[in-house]
Structure 1
């Protein structure tokens, strides 16, 4: 773990223009630099680097952040890896905090397991090429499947001899400990000694993003009704099947270049696509798609096409998992191959260009595909049709982007012959429910012990669309970052001592005093951490949030800091612009806060009115009286806020 002083030194030393210019040709434009974005294909430069703000921002694809974010994105490194990269660039010695004995032991065990996996991969590959059995059985199988030798080597395919303990004996003789052979799952500990888990199987090493071997998949070649056709390494400290995708190491560069990822099911599907010249392909290896796997894809592209082999039962079983892709804001399409074909066999029937053309011509938006698939199953059954509509609505509701969601509503309305209003009503119910659930979960005291608010903020994929106060809250965050340290009010006390109220102090005190909380944990995290640092004399909100270790926070800060400071309607009075910046702040900040409070009050009133309607329907007079009192209080608050805003009613 890198100590905080070293992290701060790296941030202070790493100049954003110097870091970016190692990878992008930049030219000066005013106080900034301009270049072609390295994250998407463009002919006209829209990639801007601001040395003064310490950020980069592409106005084409939307990516932005600080120097560490850039290295993470461009070099596909994690946060610590990017810090080490910059430390090396600027000759800064990386000082890591001393680990506890337990942490040190875990780190050493993990590294030992990785070393054992590396030995096993080389051992299995050597068997495939040099052992008599490996050549006769393993290599023959691969050649019969039509795989070229260069592709076999690319994926480091190997073979485990059909012997109970050939590998285990070789590993122990080479000095590898029994403990780590068992922990990796390569060997199984029996009373008579170690036996090989993958005996008699063709071996497919599973690599992490950095190319290290994390685990293995093995395909049995002889007929054995008691043995599984495919066998994977068990879960371990180094291998978590829900967090990795087969082929990600070989695919990541092509995924970035083509801004697309193809998802298939098995190992040989991936290898066949590579042999056909298509490298941006990964496999879930037969497991249900997980949120971690989707986020792994999103590190390289926002576009995914899932390729199915035509088995309707298998497709229906995986539909709910694909909703995760929508929730993570990926553009997902589906390709259904002709009956009897799988990605492996189908990719052999045409060239790479023909295959890409076929995919582009026949792939379908996931929501439309799902609607048509379930509609065919429902036929004229009204109950199944109603369940179908509910299922589709759930999928559409989790799409974060309002525009994309609206397009899907229109298409599904046409396909299902259901009025758009009906679909929107159901979607809004779901979003409202999610908002309420998120609000409850977001209470700091209710967070799981192993999950910080920072981690929770990263897991909230579509809160901007579910947050009805997003516009007002983002405006407050923008004001905190840009003007939080500016003086808002100043006066003298009875002793003649000058007292000052800063913009940040005012906003935070107003939010906290009225116990206003955002349903978006990302905004809440900013408000909370700003509050915690109010008494810190060295606190600089711009650099604090720009250089935040939470990538989502630093991305938010970069987006806000890259926005021009334009006067809104609130910055004008009687159609004339308020000239001095000090006057602008005195005018705008209280209005922003009151706009926010007014919106919150209006939402509370809406909920009270809904409850009153329920009470009226159930003829609950006591509840009705209670709600009427609440409404009277809210009316008073609303009128007071309207008065503060000059009689302008919040809508």
Structure 2
């Protein structure tokens, strides 16, 4: 168990914008930050972070919370894991009691996979640095590649002994279950035999965006032609190679800072570039680029530079990934190295300045690169040239932005010496075909999942009481501890005419006291159970503490309640996503009319509840077919009260208009 002192230190120190900024590119939006949702596929930002409230809200999925809940949602951490991650980030010493064997046994399967992977990573590093075989074979190989001791340790490179069961035996001896050794793919089990997957290989651990070990890549050093040169961990509950980029954990901050990501092919390409000083570099680890991998980069930057070696066949095979990048609405450039060179060898033999200059001078816009590549292949053959042009236009059709598409069409027309009209016509044909195929697919899906719709279905009404109770929670969280002047209207008899009049009286009190006393006066109870619990918790906090901290209150809630509170507090922030100020539309600031807001909300709730009560009396009368004088008197009293409250409400709303 982690001590409460450590947890308190973490919550006091951690900044939500800094934590999320490690995973999502955030841009200033007024007093908040905005970015692309890390939980959905989107091109327009709907993800908001509030440094003042220390909370975040994803309007595309409805998720929200604090720094801890973000890590739990994004990295699938348990609560203790999230606390430990933040403690490590902010150099806070974790105080915890030793876990018993029983507590270890209760760890869920997913966590067990992480623990086994972390253990394997430590083991492979120990073998590399502490054993004769590791130093003579593994360490020698890395140093021959030009990796320094510092680089080897930073990327946590290791070595697996060239023995059939060395790792498996050591893991079992240290209490790790064969079940999870097999599920991570570190151990292969066949009938009664168990042996190491990565026997005799140098090891490249694959990290998540937060630094957890997900799997491994192993390179063989012998001359066994039957064995694959590179071997990756198999898919597991924690390792999905199509959703992971090698080196992203080390590169994420540099990518956001440089607003560009270099994409290479292999592990050593990443490490060599990083060692040279170009740290905004990642790799798809030899697999074909996937939309999920591109979206990981898109959270940090909108710009990708794809680096290819001089192998023409490799370029032709990899160029298909460019269309995927374009589909995600990203800007893509391509840079190739001289024949016989790849990013690894080029970085090894050049200085940082030389590499930077080369990339700057040779990185081409994708349209120029693809055109020059395909023109060479067409070799003045008119038919091949026509196919080349169509292929380039097909790539342009993937771009979601219409202005970009038009600019690229103009560029293609210039390079290929063909009229823009023909290219626009071809583009229109491609789009028409895409639309037809999309409609066909949609109709097939609709047919497969046909749903009988009730034409008479009535649109669900807004739950007025729910919205008003939600508003009360919001007011208490934002302004509960503030002192305001409230105007109450008191019925008095006019001394001259004898008529009843409403006379205003002004009194000063704290917002939460005003709300509590007004609700108590009418014995009003929250209908929503979660809101009711939150209401009493907030009132209790405000009663006990001189200064109410929204951040501290949220940090003490469970994940569901924290998410609910965050949704309430961030509801108005979504309007900042639309840059209204740029269009001279200035939203009214709520804090200028807090007293009116409180009075309007309470009076609206009271009026609504009176309407509900009158409706109940009417139903009782009709059901019992009676004309009870007592019921009629009650109804009359409620109607009179409703009229009085409506007059008060009208006065309050009128107060808004005069502001």
Asked if structure 1 preserves the Cα contact closer than 8 Å seen for 2:16 and 2:55, the reply is: no
Name the structure 1 match of 2:224: 224
Counterpart in 2 of 1:559? 577
> What's the secondary structure of 2:278's corresponding residue?
coil
Instruction: Find 1:535's aligned residue among 439, 459, 462.
Output: 462
State the alpha-carbon separation in 2 of the partners of residues 166 and 446 from structure 1: 55
**Alpha-carbon distance between aligned partners in 2 of 1:187 and 1:555, rounded to the nearest angstrom:** 50
Residue 49 of structure 2: which of 59, 67, 81 is its match? 67
Report 1:465-544 matches (<5 A): 534-537=461-464, 538=466
Partner of 1:389: 389
Take 1:72 and 1:298, find their aligned partners in 2: how far apart are those partners?
24
Which ranges in structure 1 are unaligned for 5 or more consecutive residues?
A: 1-13, 25-36, 41-45, 97-104, 450-511, 514-527, 568-651
Partners in 2 of 1:383 and 1:308 — Cα distance? Answer: 28
Q: Using the alignment, how far apart are the partners of 1:75 and 1:132 within structure 2?
A: 53
Given that 2:16 and 2:66 are in contact with CA atoms closer than 8 Å, whether structure 1 keeps it comes out as no
- Residue 614 of structure 1 aligns with which residue? none
Q: Tell me which residue corresponds to 1:173.
A: 173
Q: Which runs of 5+ in 2 are unaligned?
A: 1-10, 37-42, 72-76, 80-104, 475-562, 586-659
* Change over 3 Å in CA distance of 1:306–1:56 after alignment to 2: closer
Q: By how many angstroms is 1:65 displaced?
A: 4.0
**Matched residue of 2:31: which SS?**
strand
CA distance in 1 between counterparts of 2:78 and 2:164 reads: 46
**Aligned 1:287-302 pairs, distance under 5 A:** 287-302=287-302
Counterparts in 2 of 1:263-412, with a 5 A limit? 263-412=263-412
2:414 counterpart residue number: 414
Report how far residue 266 of structure 1 moved. 0.6
2:259 — aligned with what? 259
How far 1:165 moved relative to its partner?
A: 0.5
SS in 2 for 1:334: strand
What does 1:416-495 align with in structure 2 at a 5 Å threshold?
Answer: 416-439=416-439, 446=446
Q: Secondary structure at the match of 1:269?
A: helix
Does 2:67 match 1:49? no
Match runs of 1:159-170 below 5 Å: 159-170=159-170
**How far is the alpha carbon of 1:191 from its aligned partner?**
3.4
The alignment's TM-score, normalised by the length of structure 1, stands at 0.59
Aligned mates of 1:280, 1:217 — CA distance in 2: 21
The correspondence of residues 85-96 of structure 1 with structure 2, limited to 5 A, is 85=67
* Residue in 2 that maps onto 1:245: 245
Task: Tell me the SS of whatever aligns to 1:217.
Answer: strand
1:197 aligns with 2:194: no
SS at match of 1:176: coil
Distance 1:69 1:120 in 2: 38
Cα-to-partner distance string for 1:12-40 (whole Å, 9 max, x where unaligned): xx9xxx9669999xxxxxxxxxxxx9846
CA separation in 1, counterparts of 2:292 and 2:401?
A: 21
Number of aligned positions between the proteins? 436
After superposition, what is the alpha-carbon deviation per residue over 1:348-372, rounded to whole angstroms, capped at 9, x for unaligned? 2222233112101110011221111
How far apart are the structure 2 equivalents of 1:165 and 1:193?
10
- Residues 396 and 409, structure 1, Cα contact 8 Å, conserved in 2: yes
| Aligned equivalents of 1:258, 1:533: Cα separation in 2 | 49
- Return the structure number with greater relative CO, CA threshold 8 A, min gap 6: 2
Please state how far the C-alpha of 1:437 moved relative to its aligned partner.
4.1
State the match for 2:121 in structure 1.
121
The answer to whether structure 1 residue 154 and structure 2 residue 154 are counterparts is yes
What SS does the aligned partner of 1:314 have? helix
TM-score (norm 2): 0.58
Quote the offset at 1:304 in angstroms.
0.7
Name the CA distance, whole Å, in 2 between partners of 1:267 and 1:218.
Answer: 10
Change (3 A) 1:274 1:221: same
**8 Å Cα contact 1:65-1:554 kept in structure 2:** no
Taking the aligned partners of 2:344 and 2:171, their CA distance within structure 1 comes to 34
Secondary structure (helix, strand or coil) at the match of 1:66 reads strand
Matched, 1:83 2:69: no
- Matched with 2:622 is none
